[in-house]
Amino acid sequence: MEKIVVLDFGGQYNQLIARRVRECNVYCEIVPYDKAEEMLKNERPNGIIFTGGPNSVFSEASPHIYPEIFDLGIPILGICYGCQLMAYTLGGTVTTAPHSEYGKTETHYDKTSPLFSNILNMPDFAISWMSHTDYISEAPEGFRVTAHTENCPIAAMENPERKLYAVQFHPEVNHTEYGIAMIDSFVRNVCGCKGDWQMEGFIEKTVAEIRREVGDGNVVLGLSGGVDSSVAAALISRAIGKRLTCVFVDQGLMRKDEGDFVEETFTKLFDMNFVRINCQQEFYQKLKGVVDPEEKRHIIGEEFYRVFWNKIRENYATGYFAQGTIYPDRIESGKGDAAVIKTHHNQVKRPENIKFQGVIEPLKDLFKDEVRKVGDLLGIPKQLVWRQPFPGPGLGVRIIGDITEEKVKLLQEADAVLRDEMAKNGYEKELSQFFAVLPGIKTVGVMGDGRTYEQLVAIRAVTTDDFMTADWAKIPYDILGRVSNRIINEVDGINRVVYDITSKPPGTVEWE
């Protein structure tokens, strides 16, 4: 299988680089820079990409690479810090730039370079996205300069004989014009990849692997109703049918009718055993009087853990355990020397007193957009496959203050009106995420010539490419007006609707 390896030097765009390579229909993995030598002893990828990073290459404390990697004859593309690292390691000069470059920068290209020559209609200069304090002042021997800016004399360089290429800018981000085409040129023209990695082939291969590993055994999977666990369930169901049991914990903090929708979907469309645990009252009781958001998250997580594993322990603690781990989960939860960004629910340690024959993670090498493609091909309803992100604690962190059954139902109804109106207007496709929040504030209103003192609901909607930053969505006033009128008229207990116009940063997407 064709494969590109991304060596991670701490860059914030490491996953985006890997996604861009996969968009070329070439399989790609991210490997920590200090594991490169060990990895290359066992396999020879078609190409290697060095990521950016926050360090200066001339600092002894910064990450470096073993020099012999440049003599293997494997094509290498260095990006930002990776560009400087290549120059520094091979005898070039890297120093603090007289003028730092950040953001959109006019860049002049030598279009005879293999990175640029096959890009249709590419001009001699275009905008690239820069983010660097240091720069290469002198290229290593044997390299020629293939791009420059007003303040950066070596914005790209190459040594085609050694198959070494480097760019100071970030071609993986949308802000760099023709950047994605540059990555495609590296993958196809320099590395010689044909681009034959397809989702259909992934499904066939994965189903065969599950059958081979499980044999005539059984598998149990924790089904949340989210994209990842749903697609994992569908894949395993295709492989082993009724020998898969999906356990679904309905804790009462999901969106309106969502539990029933999940049950109907997986009992009617797929060949499996479906077990639903209705434990809403247990969760409401545990959360009674709790207002701190982190304490709510902790209680919801612990209670879910207890309910789910007690059910497994009683009935299904044999065979194999499956989970919907995807590639970003494995990267973000921290591996080896990698920093722990956040611990994901499906990366938490399982109870020691439950011994499975093995763990099945059919999506562990896929990104979210790839998981959605698999879900579409498997026939999962689009409402599940393309659902927006939903917090693990559910509506528990969209209700500010203490949680009660009455508040949950109030928020479910308001949120359902919002979703229905966005769907009717076709505006949901314009938004990355939108939802209702119950801030726990009562306001005075007038309805039917009488005074009211009821709950306020806030609407949150954002647009974003990666959820690292987000802008508040500019929903047309007439649509917002209809949403407000419907919520106030259709949901008893609400008399005011407000719209959140805070971007991230300084805010976050969720309120808690």
Please report the beta strands in 357-504, taking only residues with DSSP state E, as ranges in sequence order. 358-360, 433-437, 442-447, 450-463, 471-472, 494-499
Check: CB of residue 161 under 8 Å from CB of residue 142: yes
Phi, psi at 475, each rounded to 5°: -65, 135
pLDDT of residue 201: 83
Q: Where in the chain is the domain with CATH 3.40.50.620?
A: 199-385
Catalytic annotation, residues? 80, 170, 172
pLDDT of residue 255: 94
User: Rg for the chain (alpha carbons), in Å?
Assistant: 26
Torsion of CA 180, 467, 334, 390, to 10 degrees: -130
Give residue 349's pLDDT band: very low, low, confident or very high (50, 70, 90): low
Give the chain's end-to-end CA distance (angstroms, integer).
43
The whole-number average pLDDT for the span 230-240 is: 95
Look over the chain and give the mean of its residue pLDDT values, rounded to a whole number: 90
pTM over 0.85: no
Q: Please give the CATH architecture assigned to the domain spanning 199-385.
A: 3-Layer(aba) Sandwich (3.40)
Give residue 399's pLDDT band: very low, low, confident or very high (50, 70, 90): very high
In angstroms, rounded to a whole number, what is the distance separating the alpha carbons of residues 23 and 27? 9
The alpha helices in 50-172, defined as continuous H runs, are: 81-89
Give residue 153's pLDDT band: very low, low, confident or very high (50, 70, 90): very high
Torsion-angle region of 25 (φ positive above 0: left; ψ -120 to 50: alpha; else: beta): left
Torsion of CA 410, 416, 421, 422, to 10 degrees: 120
Give residue 331's pLDDT band: very low, low, confident or very high (50, 70, 90): low
CA dihedral over 288, 294, 300, 302, signed as positive or negative: negative
Q: Which amino acid is at 117?
A: S
Count Cβ atoms below 10 Å from residue 348 Cβ, excluding itself. Answer: 11
Return the SS3 of 464: coil
Q: Where in the chain is the domain with CATH 3.30.300.10?
A: 405-499
Domain 405-499 has CATH 3.30.565.10: no
Report residue 24 as tokens: 């070329």
Q: Where in the chain is the domain with CATH 3.40.50.880?
A: 3-190
User: Is residue 341 scored above 70 in pLDDT?
Assistant: no
Count Cβ atoms below 10 Å from residue 106 Cβ, excluding itself. Answer: 10
The whole-number average pLDDT for the span 167-190 is: 94
Torsion-angle region of 507 (φ positive above 0: left; ψ -120 to 50: alpha; else: beta): beta
In angstroms, rounded to a whole number, what is the distance separating the alpha carbons of residues 226 and 325? 12
Q: Could you give the percent of the chain with pLDDT greater than 70?
A: 96
CA-based angle 285:279:419, to the nearest 5? 95
CATH code for residues 3-190: 3.40.50.880
Check: CB of residue 168 under 8 Å from CB of residue 141: no
User: Is residue 216 scored above 70 in pLDDT?
Assistant: yes
User: Is residue 509 scored above 80 in pLDDT?
Assistant: yes
Give residue 468's pLDDT band: very low, low, confident or very high (50, 70, 90): low
User: Is residue 65 scored above 70 in pLDDT?
Assistant: yes
